[in-house]
A and B are shown apart, each in its own frame.
Chain A
Amino acid sequence: AQKVTQAQTEISVVEKEDVTLDCVYETRDTTYYLFWYKQPPSGELVFLIRRNSFDEQNEISGRYSWNFQKSTSSFNFTITASQVVDSAVYFCALSEAWNTDKLIFGTGTRLQVFP
């Protein structure tokens, strides 16, 4: 069965701190896709990244970086030098190749960045 676990319900940091959001997934499929979405207070989810199961290269985009490790079924997200505008709920999601038309979301991690 497919499942995404985000064990951290809420994280609070002070501006400029680095923070890592954890994501652990379960799937029987060998081909799958992993995503991160951000949900600010306005409510609309905003796409951050998509990674397929064959690409384990870590990725960096500005202050954001992602660490994909198939050996531990994890796809963690790090924000470097956090800012108040990073405050939001972050969701990790999984899509399997055999069932590619829906995303399985984790329960999300609420990040609060204080000035």
Chain B
Amino acid sequence: DTGVSQDPRHKITKRGQNVTFRCDPISEHNRLYWYRQTLGQGPEFLTYFQNEAQLEKSRLLSDRFSAERPKGSFSTLEIQRTEQGDSAMYLCASSLGAAANEKLFFGSGTQLSVL
């Protein structure tokens, strides 16, 4: 059990550029979540997958954001035309089981800075 891994750990980009983050969940975990955390705040839900199906998206997820989990394993989160307001820690989490409300295993996050 290697835990949830996220890549990169840090990303600095210029406003208007596109960025993509990757999340590798714990093997066999069928649920995968993306959260966003800004300084001094708790994580905010963005979206989640059950296997390869994206089942819910938050209103926080504008059209510039897209997430995929093509084979039900790793997931990518892409932000197009980044804005300074996108600067945040992007956290990925996974869980096992058919039911929700199971405990989540989080990665260390990708810290995005948009200049």
How many pairs, one residue from A and one from B, have CB atoms within 8 Å of each other in the complex? 60
Closest CB in chain B relative to A88 CB, distance in Å: 13
Residues from chain B with a CB closer than 8 A to the CB of A28 are none
Contact B103 A47 (CB under 8 A): yes
Which size bracket describes the interface of B in this complex? Answer: 20 to 34
Residues from chain B with a CB closer than 8 A to the CB of A105 are 42-44
A103's contact among B4, B43, B55, B107, by CB below 8 Å, is which? B43
CA distance A35 to B104 in the complex (A): 10
Closest CB in chain A relative to B59 CB, distance in Å: 12
For A72-115 the 0/1 string (1 means CB < 8 A from B) is 00000000000000000001010100001111111110000000
Closest CB in chain B relative to A101 CB, distance in Å: 5
Contact A43 B89 (CB under 8 A): yes
Residues from chain A with a CB closer than 8 A to the CB of B93 are 45
Pairs A–B under 8 Å by Cβ, sample size 29: A4-B42, A33-B101, A42-B108, A43-B109, A44-B4, A44-B91, A44-B106, A44-B107, A44-B108, A44-B109, A45-B43, A46-B106, A47-B103, A50-B103, A52-B101, A100-B99, A100-B100, A101-B31, A101-B55, A102-B33, A103-B45, A105-B42, A105-B43, A105-B44, A107-B40, A107-B41, A107-B42, A108-B40, A108-B42
